[in-house]
Amino acid sequence: MIRIAIVEDELMYAKQLESFLRQYEEKEQETFEINMYSDGDEIVEDYKAQFDIILLDIQMQFMDGMTTAEAIRKVDTKVIIIFITNLRQYAIRGYEVDALDYVVKPISYFAFSQRLSRAIKRLKKRTQHTIVIKIRRGVARIDAADIYYVESQNHTLIYHVAGNNIESSGTMKDAENMLSEFNFCRGNKGYLINLAHVDSVQDSFAVVRGEKLLLSRPRRNAFMEALTNYWGEIR
């Protein structure tokens, strides 16, 4: 079941969105739990990350969509936000609050269903992937998404994870095979970088969570391509 919130102050559009969702449920064999809010302040009050997808109108009377999204993001970084707007100029700021998508009014079922199925697909991809790595005293379990990058030194692999480094034995090839599905890419011989944590690329460096990692010349192109692929297909 997918939990969806509709935040829309115009009753007509709110009703339309709800009927579109019901239509989608029937056609695509999904089940939705739908909650309706008529203004931004209603959903923000007592928000506990209880939704998977939020359809959010941008222009509302008491609390507009952007402010609402900002407030929601403070509590919940994972929920998928889709903006509903009649002026697409307003949607541009949506990327600042990491909104996945936007739908422009007047809304047609076809356009809406296309964007919705994209969102549902992303949602289903987001499950956790725990990987197991051998450490000196047993094993460690970490979520692949939490790894910033893997560093290889002699025969030691150092997993740079939020806040600490985990040392393990093994070769870069092993790590590469294990993490192949999770959007990792080699920056040079010694680094395997999680593309989700690449903050910027400057000259021959990738900045990963504040750390500058060298991109070797022959790998730079492939790295940029992998990064573009990540931003195109995964996000």
Partner 1 sequence: MDNNLLDIPRLYTAIAEWAACMVYLMNMQKRFKGIKFCTFALGGLIIQIFFLTVTANVNIIFWIPCMMTAAALMICFIYFGSKGIWKDAVYMGIHAFVFAEFAASFEWLLYSFFYKGTSPWVSLGMMLLIFAVLYGFYGWLFQHQKLTESKLDVTFGELCAALIIGISAFTVSNLSFISIETPFSTSYQEAIAIVRTLVDLGGTAIMYAYYLQRYHFRLKQEMAVMQTVIQNQYLQYQMSKESIDIINYKYHDLKQQIAALRAEENPEKRMTFLDRMEEEIHYYEAQNKTGNKVLDSVLTGKSVICNNYDISLNSVADGKLLDFMDIMDICTIFGNALDNAIECEKKVPDKKKRLIHLAVFSQKDFLIMWFENYFEGELKSADGVIKTTKTQKSELHGYGIKSIMHTVKKYGGAVHINVEDKWFKLTILIPLQQKKEHH
Nearer to partner 1, 56 or 157 (CB): 56
Smallest gap from residue 227 Cβ to partner 1 (A)? 6
Measured from the CB atom, the residue of 62 and 95 that comes closer to partner 1 is 95
Measure the CA–CA gap between 68 and 64, rounded to whole angstroms. Answer: 6
Mark residues 170-199: x for contact with partner 1 by CB under 8 A, - for none. ----------------------------xx
Question: Residue written as tokens 């022959």?
Answer: 218
> Binding of partner 1 at residue 231 (CB under 8 A)?
yes
CB 158 within 8 A of CB 167: yes
Tokens at residue 26, please? 């029937």
CB of 26 vs partner 1, minimal distance in Å:
19
Q: Which CB sits closer to partner 1, 3 or 93?
A: 93
Answer yes or no whether residue 124 interacts with partner 1 by CB under 8 A.
Answer: no
Stretch 65-104: interaction string toward partner 1, x if CB under 8 A? ----------------------xxx-xx-xx--x---x-x
Instruction: Please identify which residue in 172, 178, 207, 214 interacts with partner 1, judged by CB under 8 A.
Output: 207
What gap in Å lies between CA 216 and CA 198, rounded to an integer? 16
Q: Which is nearer to partner 1, 32 or 112 (CB)?
A: 112
Provide the phi-psi class of 98: left if phi over 0, else alpha when psi is between -120 and 50, else beta: left
Shortest Å distance, C-beta 199 to partner 1: 5
Residue 74 phi, psi dihedral angles, 5° rounding? -65, -30
Name which position in 1, 46, 48, 110 contacts partner 1 (CB under 8 A).
Answer: 110
Q: How many residues bind partner 1 (CB under 8 A)?
A: 32
The pairing of strands 147-153 and 156-161 is antiparallel
Q: Does residue 111 interact with partner 1 by CB under 8 A? A: yes
Determine, following the binding rule CB under 8 A, whether residue 108 of this chain makes contact with partner 1.
yes
- Binding segment for partner 1 (CB under 8 A), chosen from 37-45, 154-162, 169-177, 221-229, is 221-229
Which residues in this chain contact partner 1 in the complex, by CB under 8 A?
87-89, 91-92, 94-95, 98, 102, 104, 108, 110-111, 114, 117-118, 121, 198-202, 207, 221, 224-225, 227-229, 231-233
